[in-house]
Amino acid sequence: MRGEAILARFGIAPGATVSGVAYGGRFAAAGGAVTETYDPTTGALLARVTGASKDDYDKAASAARDAFLRWRAAPAPVRGEFVRRLGEAFRARKEDLAQLISLENGKILTEGRGEIQEVIDICDLAVGQSRQLFGRVIVSERREHRVLEQWHPMGVLGIISAFNFPAAVPGWGWALALVCGDTILWKPSSLTPLVSIACQQIFHDVTNGTEAEGVFALVVGEGRTVGQTMLDDRRVPLIQATGSCDLGERVTAALGKRGGKSILELGGNNAVVVLADADLDLALPSVVFGSVGTAGQRCTSTRRLLLERSIAPRFVERLQKAYATVQIGDPLDERTLMGPLISKQAVADYTAGLTEIRRQGGKLVAGGNALEKGGGYFVEPAIVRSTKDMPIVAEEIFAPILHVIEVGSLEEAIEVNNAVPQGLSSGIFTNDLRKADTWISAVGSDCGMANVNAGTSGAEIGGAFGGEKMTGGGRQSGSDAWKGYMRRQTNTVNYGSAAVLAQGVKFDV
């Protein structure tokens, strides 16, 4: 069977039933609902995964909480040493994991490798961070007083992750949270449970028999059952949730009721602007990668292309030619540029999306068909000529559909870019310094990421990653994203012998 050797590297036999629950350093006999996971390239069953029952979830959450009570006391650089070893383990298993991602998720191998490289990169970053969890000393208005700001571990981090980055995005959380002194309770997407099981095996290899044993717990299961239980669980003070904007609404509602905190990484609806003065040779490959890469299933995929009117016909023609050369097929074949979508449902969403786009007046200029290819979930990448007032342009369709919209000026491009509810990533192509700087100024793009002469996809680990508006406002990976995984404490220290009150208040007793 295709993929048998890849699964065997993680001890999984094709079609077998495996446990998706682990805590305390080992996999447990799980008693929850069984998830079937499929190879999107062929539609064949890869394995069955038994998820967490209510009781399994309870045990896993308690174990993660117990592990936290120990882990928080370890010095941060000691915690960093475990993250260094974790990064080494991912380095050693990079190719095995990349192939498993290609097999179960359908992204092409080079992107699977890139995904594991991202895990390695965040581990490297987090190791350094473990010696830099800085607070501040603030001058006090009171004599013989000092005010400090310190950062302390939060507790158990609940990770709810999406199918499209089954390792890298949860990986940002693992690495940073661990150096911050948190432990992890992970509910992965039910569409990619095998990748999470493989990662959990690696966690055990690195941590078992050490003081880090049990810092990782895994609870596979449906969002509305296991996920919702986690959202309602007071033992989990912080949730990192990656998924659609609908998920964000649920997380916010549940955490609002119990005072939980969240780091939200939700849907995007990313635009690239190409102005008439742009280097079109630079813009073209960036737009094609942004819209076709990962079969349009990145949160940062380019969904809207805003072309300055005078260059629109020329640029669309070049785009059509480039699209025609994209090799669609087996993601494990190194020549393939676009693999399948994740599921039959995703193909149906693509087809329904295009039907609705046409109903609203959009004109298909490339692609548009689902492809019969050996039982897999393949589609052609599509380009549609749309207008800014079509309501569907404001929606994220998680498939390779690119709206081309003409604009008359930079100002109009900014207005159209900002007119959607999401605010993740954006890019402009221009050789005009003033226009470029306007794009990234306060009156420019309102997205969490705004690029110049670079597309919407493919962020580096050093910058804070995340978006505004319905994208959730969360930040992960670099910069000071670590602060999201810790609690801030302000300390007033009186080293004198008088009880002095702030703001000059007198209260003599």
Please report, as ranges, the residues that interact with ligand NAD according to CB under 6 A. Answer: 160-165, 169, 187, 189-190, 223-224, 227-228, 231, 242-244, 247, 250, 265-268, 299, 396, 398, 424, 467, 471
Residue 223 corresponds to which amino acid? G
- 118 catalytic, yes or no? no
Backbone angles phi, psi at 158, to 5 degrees: -90, 125
- Beta bridge partner(s), residue 186: 159, 218
Alpha carbons 127 and 194: distance in angstroms, whole number: 27
Minimum CB separation from ligand NAD for residue 191, in Å? 6
- The tokens of 301 are what? 């995929």
Of 118 and 182, CB closest to ligand NAD:
118
Beta bridge pairs of residue 48:
17, 36
Nearer residue to ligand NAD within complex by CB, 21 or 284 = 21
**Cβ 342 to ligand NAD shortest distance, Å:** 8
Query: Cβ closer to ligand NAD: 242 or 430?
Result: 242
DSSP H or E segment with residue 320: helix 312-324
Element (H, E) at 385: strand 382-385
Q: What is the DSSP string of 296-307?
A: G-STT-EEEEEE
- Return the closest-CA partner of residue 174 out of 166, 165, 163, 182: 182
In angstroms, rounded to a whole number, what is the distance separating the alpha carbons of residues 440 and 450? 6
CB 25 within 8 A of CB 213: yes
Both tokens assigned to 266: 């939700």
CB of 476 to ligand NAD, least distance (A): 7
3-class DSSP assignment, residue 258: helix
Phi first, then psi, for residue 50 (nearest 5°) are -85, 125
- Options 265, 308, 396, 406, the catalytic residue: 265
DSSP 8-state code for residue 328: B
Instruction: Please state the closest distance from residue 471 (CB atom) to ligand NAD, in A.
Output: 6
Nearer to ligand NAD, 141 or 232 (CB): 232
Q: Helices (DSSP H) in 33-108: which residue ranges?
A: 54-71, 76-92, 94-105
Contact 220, 51 (CB under 8 A): yes
Closest contact distance (angstroms) between CB of 111 and ligand NAD is 13
| Minimum gap (Å) between residue 357 Cβ and ligand NAD | 18
Cβ-based nearer residue to ligand NAD, 164 or 430: 164
Nearer to ligand NAD, 115 or 265 (CB): 265
Output 162 or 379, the one with its CB closest to ligand NAD. Answer: 162
Token digits of residue 461 = 């680990």
Q: Name which of 293, 285, 48 is nearest 164 in CA terms.
A: 293
* Neighbour count for residue 378 (Cβ, 10 Å): 23
Pairing of strands 302-308, 401-407: parallel
Q: Measured from the CB atom, is 223 or 260 closer to ligand NAD?
A: 223
The single residue of 245, 299, 308, 380 carrying the catalytic annotation is: 299
The kind and range of the H/E element at 119 are: helix 109-129
Shortest distance (Å) from residue 239 CB to ligand NAD: 9
Residue 448 Cβ vs ligand NAD, minimum distance, rounded to whole Å: 9
Catalytic annotation on 447? no
CA nearest to 335, candidates 127, 16, 108: 108
Q: Active-site residue numbers? A: 265, 299
